[in-house]
Amino acid sequence: MDHKLQVATKITEALAGLGVQDFPFEKVSSMLETPPNPAMGDIAFPCFQLAKALRKAPPAIAAELAGAISGAPLKEVQVAGPYINLFLDQHVVGTDIISAVLTQGNAYGSSEDGQGRNVPIDLSSPNIAKPFSMGHLRSTCIGNAIANIMEKKGYTPVRINHIGDWGTQFGKLIVAYQKWGDEAKVKAEPIKELLKLYVQFHDEVANDPTLEDQGREWFKKLEDGDAEAQHLWEWFREESLKEFMKIYELMDIKFDSTNGEAFYNDKMDRVVTMLEERNLLTESDGAMVVMLDEFDLPPCLIKKSDGATLYATRDLAAALYRHETYDFAKAVYVVGGEQRLHFQQLYKVLQKMGFDWAYEMYHIPFGMMLKDGKKMSTRKGKVVLLEEVLAQAIADVKKVIEEKNPTLANKDEVARQVGVGAVMFHDLKNYRLNDINFSLEEMLTFEGETGPYVQYTHARACSLLRKGNYQPTTEPTLAEGALDSKEAWAVITALSQFPDIVDRAAADFDPSFIGKFVIDLAQLFNKFYANVRILAEEEDVKQTRLQLVAAVVIVLKEGLRLLGLKAPEEM
């Protein structure tokens, strides 16, 4: 029940009664505002735009129009100069909102907009033989949350981990392993040892530039199917994936496909042929390109002068494969902002090829994860390993539990949910284009805008329901006046906004809408908890307030779930 739309309908009808024809429902609805101060009402309607139609001053119009607006869900209508301030009936609206949440449960805020259609989401995509760093966290968390949000909107997300398992770096790694590698060490700690070799290669290049040529030679051997190169590449890939899967398991993130770059090796010739057939290829300095002058973009490089295909060719092949395999409604790529030009070129080439579905492909960029204000670099070995961060976060939370609640059941599981959740939430509460500074201390505090704060609020609300012997119901009957406080009304108002927040997060492919919302809801609930006696009241008042608490539990848990976090009932 959208009370804002009900109010818009009433205003539209009142305007029609005054003979105003040019203000249909959609326009009136878009003009509604939220007053800066709750004392000024729940909804405000400015009358400036009506001055021309009615040939009167806005304050006079406001006074006249206000007299024609009344009835549920409104309790009071006030005039404040050129504004009409509308106050909703807290009992009526509270009953509607709490009923909607308790009846629908975790489906509250869901829709069938997507009609079950597929949305492939390219996320995470770490590089083989390199550690899963904090830098990869962003694509992983944001992509997983977008998948959850799209599913809530009725789409079928397809999580694709487009592993970086091809390229010249594998030639370099093969050279480094042959020169300085130790099989036993690699087997014991694959990622750490392979990273060490990769960093050593780049250190040694300064003294011996021929190493670069050797790296290129070995990658050419790999491309040509050389047995030794193939064997080492497969081994590096397998060991790396095992390590990555441990991290994904910890974060409870699953994939529908782990087809990496190498998967498309035999699918790129077809792309080149298709471009040739459409007369889209142009020769430039011996290379083959698609010109994009009409879009003010540089040419898209398809084949180098030596005949080697490039990232763009591979991604064109991947896009075709995904459309043919999934017949997608939208295709989403959660990849850092530095790849913006690459994706602009990719989509324009597909559009020039005549594929209308390319207009539904979206690059979702995000800011960098910084350490002490600086970018992390694998090549220089300046990297914070996600596995170590998660392990530390879990250990720190376990320590807090041992101090504060040593008898807690499932301590290890709760420590994992809160520790891992803290790291993920720190990323997701931020607008995705902003850079984030890594700070474990900031992530783990139980105060302020953090995952543990929201999870603890959820656990506190669950505890209240247990203590109050709350009886679940899908047909709440609210005791008159039980939710008349400003604190209760602020919580009800927030709950009513959740479906709209989900819509905005889906439209912008930005989970931070949900992150900010659960923080706000948790803060408003804690004010309600601090200022209103919930348990020590008459039974009907107590049950009414517990019904509001139960609604908060449902929405907080669902908000956290959309972000990929768990909501422990005890902490």
The per-residue pLDDT for range 354-394, each reduced to its tens digit, is 999 999 999 999 988 887 667 765 555 556 778 888 999 99
User: Do 181 and 327 belong to one domain?
Assistant: yes
Query: Between these two residues, 378 and 75, which has the higher pLDDT value?
Result: 75
Residue 20 CA: distances (Å) to CA of 13, 33, 49, 158, 206: 10, 20, 12, 49, 77
Give yes or no for residue 157 having a pLDDT over 80.
yes
CA-based nearest residue to 33, from 23, 20, 42:
42
How high is the pLDDT of residue 380?
54
Band (pLDDT 50/70/90 cuts) for residue 51 is very high
Whether residue 111 lies inside any domain: the answer is no
CATH number, residue 460: 1.10.730.10
Dihedrals φ, ψ of 77, to 5°?
Answer: -125, 125
Whether residue 570 lies inside any domain: the answer is no
Query: Which of 33, 66, 88 represents a domain boundary (last residue)?
Result: 88
Give yes or no for residue 463 having a pLDDT over 80.
yes
Query: Between these two residues, 477 and 112, which has the higher pLDDT value?
Result: 112
Measured torsion, CA atoms of residues 63, 65, 70, 73, in degrees rounded to the nearest 10: -100
* Whole-model pTM over 0.85: yes
Report the pLDDT averaged over residues 211-232. 94
User: Do 13 and 54 belong to one domain?
Assistant: yes
User: Do 218 and 331 belong to one domain?
Assistant: yes
User: Do 183 and 239 belong to one domain?
Assistant: yes
How high is the pLDDT of residue 1?
55
How high is the pLDDT of residue 185?
92
> How many structural domains does the chain have?
3
Q: Taking CA 57 as the corner, what is the angle to CA 51 and CA 61, rounded to the nearest 5 degrees?
A: 75
**Residues 390-424: pLDDT tens digits?**
999 999 999 999 999 999 999 999 999 999 999 99
User: Do 78 and 129 belong to one domain?
Assistant: no
**Residues 485-520: pLDDT tens digits?**
999 999 999 999 999 999 999 999 999 999 999 999
Q: Read off the amino acid at residue 49.
A: Q
CATH number, residue 159: 3.40.50.620
Q: What percent of the chain has pLDDT over 70?
A: 98
User: Do 326 and 444 belong to one domain?
Assistant: no
How high is the pLDDT of residue 369?
83
User: Do 400 and 519 belong to one domain?
Assistant: yes
**Residues 106-121: pLDDT tens digits?**
999 999 999 999 999 9
Report the pLDDT averaged over residues 243-258. 94
How high is the pLDDT of residue 537?
84
**Residues 517-560: pLDDT tens digits?**
999 999 999 999 999 999 988 999 999 999 999 999 999 999 99
Residue-number span of the structural domain to which 26 is assigned:
3-88
CA-based nearest residue to 366, from 160, 159, 147, 140:
140
- Lowest mean pLDDT segment, chosen from 103-117, 187-201, 252-266, 268-282: 187-201
How high is the pLDDT of residue 511?
98
User: Do 340 and 418 belong to one domain?
Assistant: no
Whether residue 300 lies inside any domain: the answer is no
Report the pLDDT averaged over residues 329-350. 96
